[in-house]
Structure 1
Amino acid sequence: MSVITAERALKEFEPLIGQWRLEAIPPGGEPWPGQAWADIEWHDSGAHVIERSTVEMPEAPNGVSIMGCDAANGTYYRLHSDDRGVCRVYEMSLGGGEWRLWREGLPFPQRFVARFEDEGNTIAGQWEKSEDGTHFETDFELIYRKIT
């Protein structure tokens, strides 16, 4: 049995680190107006990653997420909060050119599936939601484009 070290588990976060311009597109619609950014950086501890997002659109919230892992079993998590007072916990996976987030169970099952493209300079994905926890539909596409 191979042991997963914290150092090895945390290396999976490297493709996320940077400043990103965000673009959100509803199903069949035009990109949301205004600018949006995300800064994803290592926490001072070196054991967590922090994402801070800013959106210049009143209907969309600014948010903060803390990502980390349980190195003993290789499980990744993302703790999210935003301006609306929303606080959510997502399970997460990174690797093989994909980034996935998900939360199961009512009242709000949700998932995000994204691929790293353009040599890691673009993360193209979509958020999906479900009313019943079984049938998912696209909520919106979300594209990260690396600035630095």
Structure 2
Amino acid sequence: MAKRHPALARLDVLVGRWSVQPEVEGLGVGWTEFAWVEDGRFLRQFSDAEPVPETAPRAWRENNPMPTTQLIGLDDAGEEFTVLYADARGVHRVYRMTFGDGHWRMWRAAPGFHQRFTGTLREDGTAIDARWERSEDGADWALDFRLAYRR
């Protein structure tokens, strides 16, 4: 195998299992696990949670994405990552991603449904505080939800 690209090493801090708590009324703690696959060429993220309880908002109950799988790969031309996403609803998305200096960003521009994710990694590597935002036009953004990753 060819020598590992140094940009991939920035993702090593994600490897392992995290608890994930979305700040959405009625939703409990889920989990996500990051692991290297294909001899370290890609980082796989698999997430799941307990079934959405009846006390959760209707939109979450009807659109529960769990489980989800993401496959993260590198474009070495600009050291930007690409994320392939799929979930239990049959949704498939492609995100662009950067990760470095404690900042994690993902985004996509799709007609009528733009999304962006920002996360801040705690210096000791034990927590990530994050948020998802959405926009219909890519100009006016609204908070979708916050979430916290913890080891």
Q: TM-score range by the shorter chain?
A: 0.7 to 0.9
Mark the runs of 5 or more structure 1 residues left unpaired by the alignment. Answer: none
Match of 1:108 among 91, 109, 113: 113
Whether 1:22 and 2:27 are equivalent positions in the alignment is no
SS at match of 2:5: helix
- TM-superposition CA deviations, 1:9-66 (whole Å, max 9, x none): 111111111100000014xxx4x43331001110132100000000213333210000
Whether 1:36 and 2:34 are equivalent positions in the alignment is no
Aligned-residue offset at 1:132? 1.9
Please tell me the residue identity of whatever aligns with 2:100: G
Task: Give 1:47's aligned residue.
Answer: 41
- C-alpha RMSD of matched pairs (Å): 1.6
Whether 1:97 and 2:95 are equivalent positions in the alignment is no
Aligned-residue offset at 1:118? 5.3
Mark the runs of 5 or more structure 2 residues left unpaired by the alignment. Answer: 53-60
Aligned-residue offset at 1:85? 0.6
Task: Give 1:136's aligned residue.
Answer: 141
- TM-superposition CA deviations, 1:76-100 (whole Å, max 9, x none): 1111000011100000000011000
Task: Give 2:124's aligned residue.
Answer: 119
Taking the aligned partners of 1:142 and 1:48, their CA distance within structure 2 comes to 24
Q: Report the count of equivalent residues.
A: 138
Taking the aligned partners of 1:35 and 1:131, their CA distance within structure 2 comes to 29
Which 4+ runs in 1 deviate beyond 6 A? none
Q: Percent identity?
A: 35
Taking the aligned partners of 2:48 and 2:15, their CA distance within structure 1 comes to 16
CA contact (8 A) 2:82 2:97 kept: yes
Please tell me the residue identity of whatever aligns with 1:120: G
Higher relative contact order, chain-length normalized (CA < 8 Å, sep 6+): 1
Whether 1:69 and 2:63 are equivalent positions in the alignment is no
Taking the aligned partners of 1:15 and 1:7, their CA distance within structure 2 comes to 16
